[in-house]
């Protein structure tokens, strides 16, 4: 956004009453959250195309892989989970 546009917006906001400014802030805050999915959702949707690429996923395990439950429980405890 150019400086002239920002300056114009500032001048327009300066003309608003305090309550109108609060309404504008509330509108912008609501608009920013309702129409846009969360970052996590965006990332998950983006990863759908990479379902066969295990480097795109945090956890990968194959059928038949053994899981060391003691290591898993220790890993979870270190991260604050109650096991």
pTM for the model stands at 0.36
How many angstroms separate the CA atoms of 2 and 9, rounded? 11
Higher pLDDT, 59 or 19: 19
How many angstroms separate the CA atoms of 49 and 52, rounded? 8
Q: Where are the domains of the chain?
A: 1-60
- pLDDT number for residue 33: 62
- pLDDT number for residue 70: 93
The stretch 45-60 carries a mean pLDDT of 73
């Amino acid at each position: 956004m150019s400086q002239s546009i920002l300056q114009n917006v500032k001048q327009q906001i300066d003309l608003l009453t305090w309550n109108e400014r609060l309404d504008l802030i509330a509108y912008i805050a609501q608009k920013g959250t309702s129409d846009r999915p969360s970052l996590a959702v965006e990332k998950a949707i983006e990863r759908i195309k990479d379902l066969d690429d295990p480097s795109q996923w945090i956890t990968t395990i194959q059928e038949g892989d053994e899981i060391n439950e003691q290591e898993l429980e220790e890993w979870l405890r270190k991260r604050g989970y109650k096991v």
